[in-house]
Amino acid sequence: MCAYVHVCVCVRMRAPARAVRAVRVAGAARMRRRSAMGRRAMVRRGGGRRPSFGRPPIACEPARAAVACGVRVSRAPRQSRRNTMSLKFYGHPFSLYCQKVLIALYEYDVPFEWCLLAGDTPQASAEFAARWPLKHMPMLVDGERTIVESTILIEYLGLRRPASVRLVPADAGVALDARMMDRFFDCYVSTPVQKIVFDALRPQAERDARGVADARRMLDTSYAWLERTLDGRDWAAGGAFTLADCAAAPSLFYADWAHPIDSALQRVTAYRERLLARPSFARAVDEARPYRHLFPLGAPERD
């Protein structure tokens, strides 16, 4: 079957009237032949529904007539079925928020170029600062487009990937739950963890004992709330691994290092173990192992 074509009149020379007439005549003839064939088919079947002829009859004979009369014919461009993506990922393997996005990259199986942000990578650091002066990791660069903020990065990846993997659920209500849980882990687990860790990096005279105590209380409250919320759930937002679990994995991983989760909170403890067993997060954890000496409170001999 001939592909869809469109007729383009040459700029230098107006197509003669006979070309237009030829196109119309050929098209009409083709329509008459198809109609006759359809009627004969219906008679053979003894009636029935109207036959389907596929594409509209504008493809073959009109095109040949147009070419014969000096009219240029070109095929319509095809849409590529291949979903290509050329990404640069700026971050560090030991970063909590970088691990959150790495989980999504590995879940989606997206190829990307690592741009490590460290003291011995001045070029990547300069590119990072030029594109994002606030210099908060991570950052994605897709062509000329710059995307920042871990949750937005994961949502962006979801827009560019096939529906076979969904970290943002298709159901609007479930997606709202996933986003809410994502905010919970970022705001009420990761934020107090960072308060505790960053305070440990300061000189003794500059430390904030009151702020650290408040952060620890917030973590206790968050752990207790999560224990109740996980009742009947395998993952943060229900039965499927989502954006929320990308946020939960590194936040609970480091939270237990900074302020251990009470073993009495069995659902939270089991959930953290499920996250560690997830291949995407296990990969991120392994990639960060060489940097464990950077944890100022001392990385435990586990996980």
Per-residue pLDDT, averaged over 288-292, amounts to: 97
In our burial notation (b when 16+ CB lie closer than 10 A, e otherwise), range 202-219 reads eeeeeeeeeebeebbebb
Provide the pLDDT for residue 147.
98
For residues 121 and 66, the model is more confident at: 121
What does the angle CA 237 – CA 241 – CA 243 come to, to the nearest 5 degrees?
A: 70
Determine contact, residues 215/195, Cβ cutoff 8 Å.
Answer: yes
CB atoms inside a 10 Å sphere around CB 96: 22
Provide the pLDDT for residue 164.
78
pLDDT in tens, 110-126: 999 999 999 999 999 99
pLDDT in tens, 214-242: 999 999 999 999 999 999 999 999 999 99
The rounded distance, in Å, linking the Cα atoms of 279 and 25 is 64
Per DSSP bridges, beta strands 112-116 and 87-91 are: parallel
Provide the pLDDT for residue 51.
37
Determine contact, residues 143/86, Cβ cutoff 8 Å.
Answer: yes
Statement: the pTM of the whole predicted model exceeds 0.85: no
The rounded distance, in Å, linking the Cα atoms of 221 and 37 is 76
Per-residue pLDDT, averaged over 188-194, amounts to: 99
**What domains sit in the chain, N to C, each tagged with a CATH number?**
5-75 (no CATH), 87-294 (1.20.1050.130)
Per-residue pLDDT, averaged over 284-301, amounts to: 96
- Top mean pLDDT of 52-56, 71-75, 195-199 is at 195-199
Provide the pLDDT for residue 211.
98
The rounded distance, in Å, linking the Cα atoms of 90 and 292 is 19
Provide the pLDDT for residue 28.
56
Provide the pLDDT for residue 160.
81
Average the pLDDT over each of 39-43, 158-162, 266-270 and give the range with the smallest value: 39-43
Place of tokens 């007439």: 21
Per-residue pLDDT, averaged over 249-253, amounts to: 99
Provide the pLDDT for residue 157.
95
Rounded to the nearest integer, the mean pLDDT of the chain is 82
The rounded distance, in Å, linking the Cα atoms of 93 and 119 is 14
Per-residue pLDDT band for 73 (boundaries 50, 70, 90) equals very low
Per-residue pLDDT band for 85 (boundaries 50, 70, 90) equals low
Per-residue pLDDT band for 203 (boundaries 50, 70, 90) equals very high
The rounded distance, in Å, linking the Cα atoms of 200 and 290 is 20
Provide the pLDDT for residue 98.
99
Place of tokens 């210099």: 135
Determine contact, residues 103/112, Cβ cutoff 8 Å.
Answer: no
The rounded distance, in Å, linking the Cα atoms of 121 and 132 is 16
Per-residue pLDDT band for 295 (boundaries 50, 70, 90) equals very high
- The percentage of the chain sitting over the pLDDT mark of 90, rounded to a whole number, equals 68
For residues 73 and 161, the model is more confident at: 161
Per-residue pLDDT band for 35 (boundaries 50, 70, 90) equals low
